[in-house]
Amino acid sequence: MQDSAKRILIVDDDQEIAEELGQILIEEGYNITYASDGLKAREFLGKNSYDLVLLDIKMPGLNGFEVLKEIRGKDIHTKVIILSGSLMIDKYLNSPAGALEKGEGKALGLADRLLAKPVNPDLLISKIKELIP
């Protein structure tokens, strides 16, 4: 692995999904770190810098919305792609204004991209390359 490899933090409580995504990205030359929940993500983000975070929404501890708010609140200049189940994404994208709980709609606007799981690997790689060429 080259030192110049872009660093990506994968935050997902589903270990199988995280490892599948990680393998795809390792093959593309990215340096991957895994966090199994939002609290671990917070810890890693406090100690390291990442070019991009792949962030699940529904997780124990801190959920993805809370992690994203912390990233942006601390002015961390990391790109963020939210990955979540398509039903979850539909719920947030198609909700009437003001219907979202806990400011989650606003948090979605803080993400650089929003992709539904299961994500097409080619689509994911293309979106990553758009954000961190």
User: pLDDT tens across 56-90, in order?
Assistant: 988 888 888 889 888 888 877 899 999 887 555 55
Distance between CA atoms of 102 and 26, rounded to whole angstroms? Answer: 35
- % of the chain beyond a pLDDT of 90: 53
* Predicted model pTM: 0.84
pLDDT computed for residue 9 by the predictor? 98
101 or 124: which leads in pLDDT: 124
CB atoms within 10 A of CB 14: 14
Distance between CA atoms of 104 and 53, rounded to whole angstroms? Answer: 18
114 pLDDT higher than 70? yes
Least Cα distance to 83 among 8, 6, 5 occurs for 8
pLDDT computed for residue 1 by the predictor? 42
Distance between CA atoms of 124 and 127, rounded to whole angstroms? Answer: 5
